[in-house]
Amino acid sequence: MSTTDTTILRDLAKQYLDICHKPVQQERRDLWRKKNSFAVRESRKQKPIRPLIYVRAFAWGELPESKCVCEDPFYRQYENFLRHALFWDTFDDDSIFEPWVTLRARCRSSGWGLSGKRNYPAASRGAFKVDYPIKELEDARKLRTPRHEIDEEKTAQDAMRLEEAIGEVLTVDVDRAPAYRTWSADISTDLGYLRGMEHFMVDMMDHPEWLHQLVGFMRDGVLRTHEQAEAAGDWGLSAHQNQAMPYAEELQSPSPNVNGVKRGELWGFFAAQEWEGTSPQQHDEFLLQYQLSIMKHFGLVAYGCCEDLTEKIGILRQVPNLRRIAVSPFADVAKCAEQIGTDYIISYRPSPADMVSYDFNPDRIRKVLRKDFEAMKGTHFDVTLKDVETVEGHPDRVRKWVQIVRAEIERL
């Protein structure tokens, strides 16, 4: 490690730690803990918590502040994490910055045994087309069951390198949880990459039993890695996932290097973006019933990302530990709010195009928010800004957006 890299990282780590030690971080922890545990609060007849604001994305890559200068690619990724957090803090949303940096353990995994080639367009950014590896039904026989196994030697080497760089300033958390979680655990994402949405939609009609067997195989594979990790004591308190701030009165708080916990002590996140074009009945039969076997082991569950779940709230009620439901830019906010009521938290996600990405217009933002806030009145909701691909080079838009949202929340 060069002296220059060391100096850069330690300076950034000190600045980041200053942010983490602001009193407002504990205030935010308390707010999210209470927000995510509204039933506990209602049983105690306590006041509802105001809608909280979470800036999940802000087109970081197009901003000049995102430029990293460390020479070593290993350290550059942590430089990026620190610079990203320092800039994020300037928005003054309700996000929490924890006093540690997380290093992912090196997981050995056989994967599914197949992977599709991603064909990108000439542009450096944009969509890509996958050459799906399961082209014929018999191709599914080539799949292998994944496993949870950590490369201890390489993980120790990575941890030592990061400790040498910033360990005197900032705690280094080693996340040993299995690779098969979030997108790799919801079945939906990997099925899309393996078979393709257009193909498994036809399979539901032409080859239903085959598709059931394939999804069942994937469910069993995910469960196997989760069980192996639990038996090895590799699930830790930094492995919470809920696409928000993972605090709740029913669960242990996020913490670095606290391993050996059960899945029942953690948030789990699941989605079904590839199934948006299916009916509630198809979603339930061919996906949700298999996801349930995985989700039931977690303490609390957040469901949904960018997919429209308007017509699927009813089937999601089968999830016994469901706490948060995403209401995406494509969903009917009023219909979702009517169905969800006060049973779950609405993770409200207005369109970034309307909010900050193009022709920043405070009047338009207020109009959209007032309409949707009115529809969600009386429910438990928070506001998430995500999937921001551009701010047209104007990062101050996000700061102004947070101010507008706060004012509209106060108005509500």
pLDDT confidence band for 354 (50 / 70 / 90): very high
With a cut of 60, say whether residue 41 has pLDDT above it: no
Give the model confidence (pLDDT) of 77-132 as tens digits: 999 999 999 999 999 999 999 999 999 999 997 689 998 888 887 666 678 888 99
Q: At what angle do helices 362-375 and 396-411 cross, to 10 degrees?
A: 40
**Residue 412 banded pLDDT, cuts 50, 70, 90:** confident
Q: pLDDT-derived band of residue 260, with 50, 70 and 90 as boundaries?
A: very high
Residue 359 CB burial class (10 angstroms; 0-12, 13-18, ≥19): exposed
Q: Which of 246, 281, 314 is nearest to 95 (CA)?
A: 246
- Overall average pLDDT of the 295-303 stretch: 98
Confidence of residue 218 (pLDDT cuts 50, 70, 90): very high
Task: Provide the CA 34 distance to its chain's centre, in angstroms.
Answer: 20
C-beta separation of 270 from 301 below 8 A = yes
Q: Give the distance, in angstroms, between the CA of residue 385 and the centroid of all CA atoms in the same chain.
A: 13
Does residue 189 contact residue 130 with C-beta atoms inside 8 Å? no
Whether the predicted pLDDT of 309 surpasses 80: yes
182 conformational bin, left if phi > 0, alpha if psi -120 to 50, beta if neither: left
| pLDDT tier, 200 (very low <50, low <70, confident <90, very high otherwise) | very high
Q: How many CB atoms lie within 10 A of CB 122?
A: 5
Domain coordinates of the chain in residue numbers?
23-98+179-411
Domain 23-98+179-411 in CATH 3.30.2000: no
Please give the model's pTM, rounded to 2 decimal places.
Answer: 0.95
pLDDT above 70 (res 40)? no
Tokens of 337: 């709010």
- Where b means 16+ CB within 10 Å and e means fewer, 319-337 reads beebbbbbbbbebebeebb
**pLDDT class of 45 with cuts at 50, 70, 90:** low
The pLDDT of residue 188: 97
pLDDT at residue number 116: 83
Tell me the residue type at 364.
R
In the chain, the percentage of residues whose pLDDT exceeds 90 is: 91
